[in-house]
Structure 1
Amino acid sequence: MIKKARTKPLKLLKYEVLLERIIPNHTQKPIIESSHRKYLAGYKGELTLDYFLTDLARDDYHIFHDLRIPRSENNQLYFQLDALVIHSKFCIIIEVKNLIGNLYFDHQYDQIIRSREGIDETFPDPVNQAELQKNHFCNWLLKHKFPVIPLHTLVVITNPKSYIRISPKYGNRAQKIIRGRTLANKIKEFRSIESENILQKKDIKRLSSMLLKEHTQHNPDILKMFNIHHNDILTGVFCPNCIQGAVLIRIKRNWLCASCSKTYMHAHKKAIIDYALLFSPTVKNKDLRSFLHMESQTSVKKLLYSMNLKPTGARKAATYTIPLPE
């Protein structure tokens, strides 16, 4: 049973909007593109994992994708789980890697060495990462007074084109590294090993509820990450039809593209969400007027009302809160 489905992360949405709106030939653009490719590859690997988890009997397992849970009371620190599988007998924390190339798990320096096209790169050992998340999750369970239950960890290599080698001295930890296609069988092995039902239905229900309640999306300041100034961002409502992102003109109740001559009624909606993703979900009318290239305060107010966005605060200081995608 899927208790929390995987959705496109806010960070990935922010990458996409930033690459669409950053000024051409910006010096940081190649760095942003490289970082985006790596993050997107990880997300695609997680989507592949989701496919392999569908092989499990839905009524026996409770599956959570992409959880981010606070480690401390003040919510300053978090731990993140690519996937969590809960069964009455055990829980499994899954770390996903979607690396392509020759992968060598090096026990001596706790790292993966990836060789591809004559270039070597190193990545942190995902087995250690999974064990660290396991410790955080264990502490979280204890803090919330859940029964002590066996916790297992797995590292799933989802890219079928990767070639895996493991150091001979890696030890029993090597059993935690598997291919995606063997995931369902590996989980069934845990089920045969663990005999006692630890979590009752009421425990699983409370655990599911608390995980969903405490989950918080990662919402980084994407401009600050790459030291991008507000003036480096292209403004306006872009044409959905033109590849070059032609800026639309507001005419009566429609948006007109001078390049392809097409009109759109709701093109402003994406632009407003773009603003929220890049700058802030809290915005004043005047800020949106500038961003949308509109002069009329009343017209912008009508657009916001059409999206069911109502102002809060005094008239001149009134702000609107744009809901971010979930």
Structure 2
Amino acid sequence: MIKKTRTKPLKLLKFEVLLERILPNHTQKQLIETNYRKYLAGFRGELTLDYFLSELPQDDYHIFHDLRIPRYDNNQLYFQLDAFILHPRFCIIIEVKNLIGNLYFDHQYDQIVRTRGGIDETFPDPVNQVEIQKKHLSNWLIKHKTPLIPIHTLVVITNPKSYIRISPKYGKNARKIIRGRTLSNKIKEIEKLEAEVILQKREIKKISSLLLKEHTPLNPNILKLFNIHRDEILTGAFCPNCTQVALIRIKRNWLCTSCSKTFINAHKKAILDYALLFSPVVKNKDLRTFLHMESQSSLKKLLYSMNLKPNGSRKAATYTIPLPK
């Protein structure tokens, strides 16, 4: 049973909006594109994992995708689980890697060495990463006074074109590194090891509710991350047909002066773009500037049509734009 579906992360959405709206010749654009491609590859790897998890029996397994939970010792810090599986007899934390190339798991230096096109690149050892997550999850479960349940960890390589080699010094931990297609069989092995029922239905329900309640999506300031200024961002509602051509508001429609097409709801994406890049809390004046609108009442009607109502006194009123979850 899927308890938390995987959705496109806020950080990925922010990358996409930033690449659409940053000035075309900006010096940071190539760096942003490089980081975006890496982040997108990771997300695609997680989507591939979801396919393999779909093979599990729906009644016995409770599956959570992409959890980010406050640590037991400091609620300003978080631990993140690419996938978490809860079963009455055990649970499993899964770390996903979607790397292509020759991968060498180097136990001595706690790293993966990826060789591709004659170039070596290093990544942190995901086995260590998932063991740290296990420690945080164990303490989190203790904090919430849940029954002690066996926690298993796996590192799943989802890219079928990767060539995997593992240092002999890994020992038993090497068994935790698997390919996506063997995930179902590995979980069946864990089933055979764990025979005792630890969690009753009410306890599974309690843990599930707590995880969903405490999940906090990563919401970075993408402009600050790349040192981008507001005046380096293209404004306006873009034409869906001509991509980055800003539309003008005429009566109740948006007109593209390039292709002469009109659109009714072009403002919706632009308003969400504003929330992703700048802030989900915004004043009427700031949105009018961004959308190239002059009429305060016209924008107010658009916001009301989106079920966005003002908060606070008339002059200082703000609107809160809901971000995707």
Q: Output the TM-score relative to the length of structure 1.
A: 0.99
| 2:47 paired with 1:69 | no
Who is 1:271 aligned against? Answer: 270
Who is 2:32 aligned against? Answer: 32
Deviations along 1:3-60, one digit per CA (max 9) or x if unpaired, are 0000000000000000000001101101100000000000000000000001100100
| 2:278 paired with 1:283 | no
Who is 2:292 aligned against? Answer: 293
CA RMSD across the alignment: 0.8
Code of the residue aligned with 2:91 in structure 1: it is C
**Aligned ranges 1:236-255 → 2 under 5 Å:** 236-243=236-243, 245-255=244-254
SS at match of 2:148: coil
Who is 1:10 aligned against? Answer: 10
Equivalent-residue separation in structure 1 for 2:209 and 2:165 (angstroms): 40
Deviation, structure 1 residue 186 = 0.4
Who is 2:105 aligned against? Answer: 105
Deviation, structure 1 residue 72 = 4.2
Equivalent-residue separation in structure 1 for 2:76 and 2:29 (angstroms): 30
Equivalent-residue separation in structure 1 for 2:119 and 2:285 (angstroms): 50
Flag the 1:221–1:249 CA change in 2: closer, same or farther, 3 A: same
Percent identical among aligned pairs is 78
Flag the 1:151–1:73 CA change in 2: closer, same or farther, 3 A: closer
Deviation, structure 1 residue 75 = 2.6
Asked if the contact 2:100/2:161 (under 8 Å) is kept, the reply is: yes
Flag the 1:137–1:155 CA change in 2: closer, same or farther, 3 A: same
Who is 2:96 aligned against? Answer: 96
SS at match of 1:92: strand
Structure 2 segments unaligned to the other structure (5+ residues): none
Deviation, structure 1 residue 242 = 1.1
Deviations along 1:228-275, one digit per CA (max 9) or x if unpaired, are 0001100000001114x1111111000011111111000000000000
Who is 1:302 aligned against? Answer: 301
SS at match of 1:11: helix
Equivalent-residue separation in structure 1 for 2:230 and 2:75 (angstroms): 29
Equivalent-residue separation in structure 1 for 2:85 and 2:279 (angstroms): 34
SS at match of 1:27: coil
| 2:86 paired with 1:86 | yes
Flag the 1:285–1:74 CA change in 2: closer, same or farther, 3 A: farther
Code of the residue aligned with 1:294 in structure 2: it is M
**Aligned ranges 1:167-186 → 2 under 5 Å:** 167-186=167-186
Who is 1:52 aligned against? Answer: 52
Flag the 1:72–1:79 CA change in 2: closer, same or farther, 3 A: same
Equivalent-residue separation in structure 2 for 1:308 and 1:90 (angstroms): 44
Deviation, structure 1 residue 168 = 1.5
Equivalent-residue separation in structure 1 for 2:198 and 2:316 (angstroms): 54
Q: Between Structure 1 and Structure 2, how many residues are aligned?
A: 325
Equivalent-residue separation in structure 1 for 2:164 and 2:73 (angstroms): 40
Asked if the contact 2:72/2:143 (under 8 Å) is kept, the reply is: no
Code of the residue aligned with 1:251 in structure 2: it is I
Equivalent-residue separation in structure 1 for 2:74 and 2:303 (angstroms): 34
Asked if the contact 2:93/2:152 (under 8 Å) is kept, the reply is: yes
Asked if the contact 2:14/2:222 (under 8 Å) is kept, the reply is: yes
Code of the residue aligned with 2:85 in structure 1: it is V
Equivalent-residue separation in structure 1 for 2:75 and 2:282 (angstroms): 25
Deviations along 1:85-139, one digit per CA (max 9) or x if unpaired, are 0000000000000000000000110000000011110000000000000000000
Asked if the contact 2:255/2:262 (under 8 Å) is kept, the reply is: yes
| 2:214 paired with 1:209 | no
SS at match of 2:120: strand
Structure 1 segments unaligned to the other structure (5+ residues): none
Who is 1:317 aligned against? Answer: 316
Who is 2:259 aligned against? Answer: 260
Q: Output the TM-score relative to the length of structure 2.
A: 0.99
Equivalent-residue separation in structure 1 for 2:153 and 2:92 (angstroms): 5
SS at match of 2:212: helix
Who is 2:163 aligned against? Answer: 163
Asked if the contact 2:72/2:139 (under 8 Å) is kept, the reply is: no
